[in-house]
Amino acid sequence: MTSRSRVDDMAVVVPGILGSRLADADGHEVWGLSGSALLRGIRTFGRSVKGLALPPDLGDEHPGDGVRPLGPMRDLHGLLGIGTLVDGYDGFLEWLENNFTLRRRGEKDEADPANLIDFAYDWRLSCRYNADRLAERVDEELGRWRASAPERAEARVVFVCHSMGGLVTRQYVERCGGAEVTRRVITLGTPYRGSLDAMLSLVNGVGPAGIGLTAFARGLPSLHQLVPDYAALITAPGEPLRYAREVTGLPGTDAALLKDAARFHEALRESGAGTAYGVEYVPISGVLQPTPTTAEVQGEKLTGLLTIDGADEGGDGRVPRLSSAHVGAARRPAYTPWEKHGSLQNNTALRQALYNWLTPDPPVHRGPEVADIPLVVDAPDAIVEGEVYELRATVPPDIRGHDRVAVFATAEGGPVRTLNNLGGGRYVARLAGLPPGPHRVRVSTGNAGHVVMTALVLVLEDGAGDGE
């Protein structure tokens, strides 16, 4: 067994939106279905969504409804129309424990110090509110860790954040006093400048008709704080791009929440706390994947476009690279794996890169490195049972031999399929017979055992999209 790399600091994992399980005042789980139970959750979520809806003008407060976070999502999870499917965090936390001297606290040893903390939060609420809760948790856990041994007295915090979790953490570091105890913030696909997906969800609506998801989503301060903080809307041919907060008449958006979101991002940009204390931000930015970046206003709907000012900058399928690749004044270049947003935390290449940022130990040999071939993967997030799942992959033309690459795809438990070479660096596979439920489709090149990236797809039962 490979020896574990030493970590002296405390590591905190912060999931993205939808990435924390929630319970009601009676302790009943109201959001937490994942994996094989996810399909049932989509059909029945309308029964609990009314209890999770937020009152208007909530601001940065808790609604007092008794809802509380239980822990991070364990397996594949998501809601149709609110982002994409996202892989769970249990596998990632286990990998951290197995490869570093990191330890989570067990259920029966609450008094013992731990230096691997998973921070679940109520993702419905504003990033400011959740940053305050993060501050409380870090104060408690870091104090306990520092006091547990003399050599830990100067320990600091290293955050590993997925998606919106990076915004919550940045608010903590820059605005809640966290800079003084933070060493590094590693962000996986964090939309520092927002994500067009959030805007599309607010305006176009989300989920199957009739279960109330659209009204629920439109009342979330968190979703508004994910709206693009850059000019992203085309309102007329030939006109310059406009900010969402400048466009009136769009259905589904709360003007006050949009303006407040703009103030939220502006305050983060103007803060110098992280710089003053030497906090290092390490942005991880998925690249090359087709990613909505701007949108054209067409009546009361938005049509997402993959380009901005005619250029396709790509991203991770959900967050444009222009949003996730840089943070703060330092403009450190991002680490750029070829991966989809929902699978960043489990990407093999990214996990290997984490050794550079989590441990002070010198690099050690971890086996032969396999050179990845960059892939652009285009595949649906959801299909209906009986439909053929079509996965298209493209190898960029600047890659030598791009038109002669062996590309493989396999759904969990299924056979390895070789993608058909269409010529010109284009490859396609059609997978039939996927059963209802969520699936990981792993894509590899050259060696069918070496996974380059993972596409996530939800297979709906025929008729599951009908409202109840």
Per-residue pLDDT of 163-180, as tens digits, reads 999 999 999 999 999 999
The pLDDT of residue 461: 82
Backbone CA torsion sign across 138, 352, 288, 339: negative
What element of type H or E holds 160? Answer: strand 157-162
Q: How confident is the model at residue 248 (pLDDT cuts 50, 70, 90)?
A: confident
**Residue 468 confidence (pLDDT):** 37
**In this structure, are residues 231 and 239 in contact, taking their beta carbons and an 8 Å threshold?**
no
Mean pLDDT, rounded, of the chain: 89
Query: Can you tell me the mean pLDDT for 52-80?
Result: 91
Residue with tokens 């000019």: 231
The per-residue pLDDT for 326 is 86
What pLDDT, on a 0 to 100 scale, did the predictor assign at position 207? Answer: 64
Mean pLDDT value of segment 330-340: 81
Reduce the DSSP state of residue 418 to 3 states and report it: strand
DSSP letter for 242, please.
B
Spatial distance between the Cα atoms of 223 and 191, rounded to a whole number of angstroms: 12
The alpha carbon of residue 244 and the mean position of all alpha carbons in its chain are separated, in whole angstroms, by 22
pLDDT value of residue 125: 97
Q: What is the mean pLDDT of residues 92-112?
A: 87
Selection from 79-83, 123-127, 352-356, 413-417 with the highest mean pLDDT: 123-127
Once rounded to an integer, what is the mean pLDDT over residues 344-358? 91
Tens digits of residue pLDDT in 180-208: 999 999 999 999 999 999 999 899 887 65
Q: Compute the average pLDDT of residues 92-97.
A: 97
Distance CA 143, CA 158 (A): 15
Average pLDDT in the 369-392 region? 88
Greater model confidence, 317 or 330: 317
Lowest-pLDDT choice from 17-26, 107-116, 381-390? 107-116
Other C-beta atoms within 10 Å of 22: how many? 22
Residue 365 pLDDT level (bands cut at 50, 70, 90): low
Percent of the chain with pLDDT over 90: 68
Q: In this model, does residue 329 exceed pLDDT 70?
A: no
For the segment 79-84, the average pLDDT, to the nearest whole number, is 62
| DSSP one-letter code for 124 | T
Q: What is the reported pLDDT for 210?
A: 52
Residue 39 one-letter amino acid: L
What pTM value is reported for the model? 0.94
| Model pLDDT, residue 380 | 92
List the single range of 22-31, 72-81, 177-186, 233-242 with lowest mean pLDDT.
Answer: 72-81
**What pLDDT is recorded for position 109?**
72
Give me the mean pLDDT over the 60-72 stretch. 95
What is residue 106's predicted lDDT score, i.e. its pLDDT?
Answer: 76
How many other C-beta atoms can be found within 10 angstroms of the C-beta atom of residue 276?
10
Look at residue 182 in the predicted model and tell me its pLDDT: 98
Alpha-carbon separation of residue 184 from 159, 240, 274, 333, 434 (angstroms): 6, 37, 10, 15, 41
Burial grade of 3 (CB within 10 A; 0-12, 13-18, 19 or more): exposed
| pLDDT confidence tier of residue 270, bands split at 50, 70 and 90 | very high
Q: Which of 46, 79, 51 is nearest to 207 (CA)?
A: 79
Which comes out higher in pLDDT, residue 407 or 47?
A: 407
Residue 80 banded pLDDT, cuts 50, 70, 90: low
Structure token digits, residue 229: 């903080």
pLDDT of residue 100: 96
Q: 30-33: list long-range contacts, CB under 8 Å, 24+ apart.
A: 30/67, 32/70, 32/73, 33/77
CA distance 360 to 339: 27
The three-class DSSP label of residue 117 is strand
Report the pLDDT value the prediction gives residue 447, as an integer from 0 to 100.
Answer: 61
